C-alpha cells in the first residue's frame, strides 16, 4: 500500500496586505467622481454675463444683408440643436442635457443684445463657445437674426 501524504495540497504563501493599494484605488475613484459632479454642477449654474456685457450695444446695423447673414449663420451653426424655428427641437437636441434653449421664448427675447452676444461668444455646456468660430460681426448678425425668432420683438427693435 502506498501512503498518502497527510496534506496533499502544498501550503500557500501568506497573503500580502493590499490595503494600501485598495485605498489608492478607491481614493482615485472617489476623486474622479467628485470632479465629474463638480463639473456637471458648474456647467448648469448661473449663466449671467457681467454687467458691461449686458450694456454692450450691437454695432452691426440691421439691414437686409445683415439679417440674411445672421439667418445663414444660424441655420449653419445653430439650427441642428435649437431647431429651424428656434424652439429648441433641432435634430441634435435630444443628445444634450440641458436641452437647447427655446429661442422663441420671451425670456430670451427680453435679453439685451449684449447678453445674447456674450452667451454666443462664451457658450456653456453643451453649447460651444463661438469666440473662435465666428467673427464678432458674424456673432452680432446672429443676434440680429435671433430677434426675428422671438415672439416679443420684431427685428426692428434692437435692445
* CATH (domain of 62): 1.10.760.10
Q: How many domains does the chain have?
A: 1
Dist. CA 19–CA 60, nearest whole Å: 65
Domain membership flag for residue 26: no
Question: Quick one: cell of 21?
Answer: 493599494
pLDDT digits (tens, 9 = 90+) for 122-140: 999 899 999 999 999 999 9
Asked whether residue 41 is assigned to any structural domain, the reply reads no
pLDDT recorded at residue 128: 94
In this prediction, residues 50-72 reach a mean pLDDT of 96
Task: Answer yes or no: is 131 within a domain.
Answer: yes
Per-residue model confidence (pLDDT) at position 154:
46
Look at residue 106 and tell me whether its pLDDT is greater than 70: yes
Whether residue 127 lies inside any domain: the answer is yes
Answer whether the bond into residue 22 is a cis peptide, omega within 30°: no
Evaluate whether residue 124 is within a structural domain: yes
Residue 88 in domain: yes
Q: Which positions ≥6 away from 100 have C-beta within 8 Å?
A: 81, 82, 83, 88, 90, 93, 126, 127
Give pLDDT, residue 15: 65
- Does the residue 22 lie in any domain? no
CA atoms of 102 and 85, how far apart (whole Å): 9
Spatial neighbors of 150 by CB under 8 A, at least 6 apart, are 103, 104, 105, 106, 108, 109
Domain span holding position 111:
54-149
Decide if 49 is inside a domain: no
pLDDT over 80 (residue 54): yes
Residue carrying C-alpha cell 435630444: 94
| Distance from chain centroid for Cα 113 | 20
Query: Strand, helix or coil at 72?
Result: helix
CB 156 within 8 A of CB 61: no
C-alpha cell read off for 67: 439679417
Residue 56 has pLDDT above 90, yes or no: yes
CA–CA distance, 110 with 139 (Å, rounded to integer): 18
Average pLDDT over residues 92-114: 93
Amino acid at each position: 500500500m502506498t501512503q498518502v501524504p497527510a496534506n496533499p495540497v502544498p501550503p500557500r504563501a501568506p497573503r500580502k496586505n493590499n490595503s494600501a493599494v485598495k485605498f489608492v484605488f478607491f481614493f482615485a475613484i472617489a476623486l474622479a467622481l467628485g470632479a465629474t459632479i463638480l463639473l456637471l454642477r458648474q456647467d448648469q449654474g448661473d449663466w449671467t454675463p457681467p454687467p458691461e456685457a449686458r450694456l454692450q450695444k450691437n454695432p452691426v446695423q440691421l439691414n437686409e444683408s445683415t439679417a440674411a447673414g445672421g439667418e445663414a449663420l444660424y441655420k449653419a451653426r445653430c439650427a441642428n440643436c435649437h431647431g429651424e424655428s428656434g424652439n429648441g427641437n433641432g435634430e441634435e437636441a435630444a443628445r444634450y442635457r440641458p436641452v437647447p434653449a427655446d429661442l422663441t421664448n420671451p425670456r430670451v427675447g427680453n435679453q439685451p443684445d449684449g447678453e445674447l452676444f456674450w452667451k454666443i461668444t462664451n457658450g456653456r455646456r453643451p453649447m460651444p463657445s463661438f469666440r473662435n468660430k465666428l467673427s464678432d460681426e458674424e456673432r452680432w448678425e446672429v443676434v440680429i437674426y435671433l430677434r426675428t425668432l422671438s415672439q416679443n420683438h420684431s427685428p426692428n427693435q434692437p435692445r
